Chains A and B, each alone.
Chain A
Amino acid sequence: MLLNVRELAEGQVLQCDLCVIGAGAAGITLALRLARTGRSVVLLEAGGDVYDQATQKLYTGRESGTLIKPDSFYLAASRTRYFGGSTNHWNGWCRPMDPETFLSRPWVHPDGWLLKRSELDPYYDQAAGFAEISPFNYKERWLDQPNKRFLFNPAADFETTFFHLSPPTRFGPRYRGDLERARDVRVVLDANVTQIEVDADARHVVGLEVKSLAGRSVRVQARGYVLAAGGIENARLLLASNRTQAEGLGNGRDLVGRYFMDHPVIRAGFLVATSPQRSVDRYTAFTIGRREHKARGVLRPTWEVQQRERLPNSLVVLDPVAPANLPELAREISLLSLDMTRLEIGSEAIARRRVEFMGVRVVVEPIPDPESRATLTDELDALGVPRLHLHWSLSDDDARNLRTVARLLARELSWRMRGRMSLMTTDDEPWLRAGWSNHHAGTTRMHADPGRGVVDPDSRVHGVDNLWIAGGSVFPVAGVSNPTLTILALTLRLADHLEERLA
């Protein structure tokens, strides 16, 4: 059932087994997954069916850092506050976290994930269904031709790996009908949670204060609550729920809001691939399988290289480039490279000239930093909730990691005579041509030890017995994959847990 707060009476109390805060990728998936289990679910969504400026403005705040500046509008522009959440404008790139993300890598952060990748694998398969991509079983025939269309063979320092591309699924419109039909689910729009209310010793959530911009207030009471308001807003709601615990809910150890992460990305330069056959086709979108799914190849340094170079994970995305945008000498270098490739493989094999130019983008896993953090300001939004100050700093190590990956790629391409690379990154201005990815993570990190994490391995807020969190905010390290598929997988894992807990 789909409702709007204005259809409820002022002060009305909604009762249910589980209340989910936020109808984005995580919230919608959780509600749909639990819909078939006989539990009554209320899914509260701050926005309406469509974009509305006044609602979106509730997301604005102060911001600072290496890439984001006071006028970047990062807080307002990197997420969307209406039914479907940020999937209303996501790009749909999906990829599981690489297995090493789950390990302890001292050069990234001593804490790995508390889970193993194999524990998430079955959930990744289910998640693929929600994101409308084909499962990541890596059995597709197009992968059986390692030398055919890829830049490097498996012995190289870089390997080709794939994103599956969601249509992209707009979770709101796509699953609206399913939610309307689900007998045990009530979706309430224009329902902004402004306070998570707890008992006297802040160990149990007793209800939610919910307001609409039109001035209506209602309450929700449930046996369990899941905060799924997005990677930044999850922290904001915990910090703002401070009527009982002054430092904010679940924030006894001053961890809520810390370790904010996004993926820095840099336009590192260009490459020219020279080989006897096309070698970059697979790095732009291509169709797989019978159901017209799409995938796109990217490169990444192998796990061996990451260990050798003490690098976090990273991805190299290749983009088609218009001739007008190529750097000086591009044509000449391509011919020089062709001559060298000819020497490599013998002149006959390269009689047909193959020269392919691509832009090179490098995305790197950020090093978790407790000083990158969301804190409350004194300024209140239209509903009386304190606005955030988000500070996201990147270190010299982050900058060095980006440059190292670009240099390693240039090296690999050149010494294997697959082409040449133009590098635009400079030591003097490391963040020139850099940007962010809209992938919010880390602000309610997962760790078994309450001194090191906000949620436990079941995603439950430490010290609060009926409050769980879904979303990128629980990632202890960000990995390098775009987050949504993992958010969905973790949410589906949480659903299994809740099904038991609420039995």
Chain B
Amino acid sequence: MNSKTPVIQLKNVSKTFGEVRSLSEVNIEIYPGEIVGLLGDNGAGKSTLVKTIMGFHRPDEGGEIWFKGEKITDWNVAKARELGIETIYQERALCEQQPIWRNMFMGREIKNKFGRLDVKRMKSEATRLMSEHMGFTSTAVHPDNAVLTMSGGEKQGVAITRALYFDAELVILDEPTVGLSLSETKKTLDFIQNIKKSGRSAIFIDHNIFHIYPAVDRMIVLDRGKVAGNYKKSDITMDELIESMYRVARTGSIKE
């Protein structure tokens, strides 16, 4: 695979829910080692785009998803994760009555060669990850504790650590900093830099341009389900970006 082959490419992807068209003929590609910021107002279709990439939503007839230069048929979440895409969903996707270790390995449980769950290993890995990567020292964080006993930031920590564990080639973060403290936000932004350093890709969704701009290589603006802008960071200053975001919100068009 050369670096010109996108990790993931959407061709003509639309998504309609009954009467609502959440995505409209979206064409996007993400290259290896690239961090892409995805911007757009509430309801622009960012989360729908993420869930379509993950195979949770099936694109409308005619839309195609390509992974590393191959057209994917029968896309589903389990397959997407197996191929190396992990997502930190906006809604966290935790099962709160379950212990941390079950959440950490949700859908990708560790098994031994006879297919028996390796519960001991999942617990010890969960403990290691939580202390090494999230630096948790709170007494609430024991792998047997139910997620509902944790604070909002700690819950987000579980979702982030989970995405980190599987060494994904593409990590998608959907508004990961909402509700986090300053230090937790910094940890999350560091996490994105680590993805870049290790040559992997990420899609980063956030409402805060001051979080997005320094972290990414490229920015895609989504407006009412359409791609309204696609900028290399070298082609646009932060002020120009803010200006064009306002223009999109006002007029629905990126151009003057």
A and B interact physically: no
A interface with B by C-beta (< 8 Å): none
